[in-house]
Amino acid sequence: MKAVFGDRARLQGMLDFEAGLARAQSALSVIPADAAPAIAAQADASLYDMADIGRKAVLGGNLAIPLVKALTERVDGDAKRYVHWGATSQDVIDTGLMLQIREGLSLLEDDLTALADACAMLADAHRATPMVGRSFMQHGLPMPFGLKAAGWLEAAHNAITRLARLRKETLALQFGGAVGTLASLGEDGARVRDRLASDLDLHAPATPWFTLRDRLVEITSALGITAGLMNKIAGDIVLMMQTEVGEVFEPAAPGKGGSSTMPHKRNPVGAATARGAALQAQARAAAMFTTMDQQHERAVGGWQAEWGLVPELFVLTAASIAPLASALAGLEVDAERMRANLEITGGLVFAEAAMMKLAPDIGRMEAHHVVEAACKTAIAEKRHLRDVLGEDETVAARLDSAALEALFEPMGYVGSSATFIDRALAAWAAFTKKA
């Protein structure tokens, strides 16, 4: 991702715009036919001194000014007169950025696909691995670990779909000349614009969008959402790797996850890296909203702020996905510890199951009262809830010992979990097959 948004790629995107513009204008006889190949032959970023262009951009105010000058100097003969014909700096910079974004989105989709595949593997392998579902950081009810992984899978699937849609629908050519009228091209402006959009495989909006940045902010918002999802998934892993929990572990490797002072530690370094990058990405995504306040037809400040924010946002979003995908692909799941953690409350996580079993006979409110009282007794006397319920006359009259024992089987009270896992896996399988 750093390469996609690096100096050379930035110049190459701008040069691709200039070459495409010359081809479009040549095809429409706006400039001589032999001008296009002469210009395109020099549209190679490796031909230019990036450091020199960078220094000169400080005086010019943007990269396009020194780049166009350097390109013009390299083009031979009369063709040099037609470099950048009818365009303005923002046309070059914005369109070049759109070309970079297209490649960047594809990279993110690839990384998210690897992450989703890892989640699908976990969901399928652990559809019958019971663990405790937590509510407000407290033990709630039993659930299969596969359902948690299926939730991660669906989130990743949604992120891929979102980015793919934006890549196909939102990337747009910027070409409007000085203030969006293309007056320098006379009546040929709209035709050239449409031809150029086709050449670069970008959408041609009805009007130039110099200071209307909704397209760009929609893309960066999607990256912020993606980074937020990575933060959540990585956060789950961090919490499950706590010593007191110990339900999953990132894959071990020499030198990975250790401490400089505590030899026994196994740190969640992949999740930590993902979270650190995600938090920074989300901050930049939020900052992009502030850049939308752009004045009249060409902006001062907001547009320039994007130049750093967008590349950094793409790099940081990628950095939130890659280490997490690696961690999930080799995630070690301790099913025995998950089962043991279910038992640390002495059966209290099965209180709802007991209540719902009694409710048809005595009503939900009465069942809630009976089980709640039993829970209080179990806590006070440090006894298992099953044993306390077995001594209650109301319960004993309706549930024999076998029925009571069955209530405390974790996979016996997971509702539609299997269906939910199957649906997430089926949707992902259909998506990958179609792709």
Sequence ranges of the domains in the chain = 1-85, 89-339, 348-407
pLDDT in tens, 72-110: 999 999 999 999 999 999 999 999 999 999 999 999 999
How confident is the model over 377-402, as a mean pLDDT?
A: 95
- Predicted local distance difference test score (pLDDT) of residue 254: 61
380 burial type by CB count under 10 A (0-12 exposed, 13-18 middle, 19+ buried): exposed
- Predicted local distance difference test score (pLDDT) of residue 257: 57
Give the integer Cα–Cα distance in Å for 411 and 117: 25
Q: Is the pLDDT of residue 125 over 60?
A: yes
**Quick check: helix, strand or coil at residue 333?**
strand
Q: Is the pLDDT of residue 275 over 70?
A: yes
pLDDT in tens, 65-74: 999 999 999 9
**Contact at 8 Å (CB) between 83 and 68?**
yes
How confident is the model over 185-207, as a mean pLDDT?
A: 97
- Predicted local distance difference test score (pLDDT) of residue 341: 97
Half-sphere exposure of 428 (CA within 13 A, CB side): 30
Dihedral sign of CA atoms 118, 121, 123, 126 in order: negative
At 65, the amino acid letter reads I
Phi, psi angle pair for 130, to nearest 5° = -75, 140
R_g (Cα) of the chain, nearest Å: 30
Per-residue pLDDT band at 266 (split at 50, 70, 90)? confident
**Contact at 8 Å (CB) between 115 and 156?**
yes
pLDDT in tens, 181-195: 999 999 999 999 999
Greatest alpha-carbon pair distance for the chain in Å reads: 102
Fold (CATH) for 1-85: Fumarase C; Chain B, domain 1 (1.10.275)
**Contact at 8 Å (CB) between 22 and 40?**
yes
Considering only 50-59, 218-227, 256-265, 321-330, which range has the smallest mean pLDDT? Answer: 256-265
Q: Is the pLDDT of residue 333 over 70?
A: yes
Q: CA torsion, points 253, 255, 259, 261, in degrees to nearest 10?
A: 140
- Predicted local distance difference test score (pLDDT) of residue 18: 98
Give the integer Cα–Cα distance in Å for 26 and 35: 7
- 34: which 2 tokens? 């032999």
Task: Please give the positions annotated as active site.
Answer: 259, 298
pLDDT in tens, 133-152: 999 999 999 999 999 999 99
Return the percentage of the chain with pLDDT > 90, whole number.
Answer: 96
Q: Which residue in the block uniquely carries the two structure tokens 């706590």?
A: 242
Q: Is the pLDDT of residue 256 over 60?
A: no
How confident is the model over 305-326, as a mean pLDDT?
A: 97
Considering only 78-87, 220-229, 245-254, 365-374, which range has the smallest mean pLDDT? Answer: 245-254
Architecture of domain 348-407: Orthogonal Bundle (1.10)
- Predicted local distance difference test score (pLDDT) of residue 434: 81
Q: Which residue in the block uniquely carries the two structure tokens 């490797």?
A: 253
**Contact at 8 Å (CB) between 123 and 328?**
no
Sequence-distant (6+) residues with CB within 8 A of 133 are 140, 141, 142, 143
The helix or strand, by DSSP H or E, that contains position 143, with its residue range, turns out to be strand 138-144
CATH number of 89-339: 1.20.200.10
Q: Is the pLDDT of residue 258 over 80?
A: no
Q: What is the DSSP letter of 334?
A: -
How confident is the model over 123-142, as a mean pLDDT?
A: 97
Q: Count other C-beta atoms under 10 Å from residue 430's C-beta.
A: 10
Residue count (the chain): 435
Return the percentage of the chain with pLDDT > 70, whole number.
Answer: 97
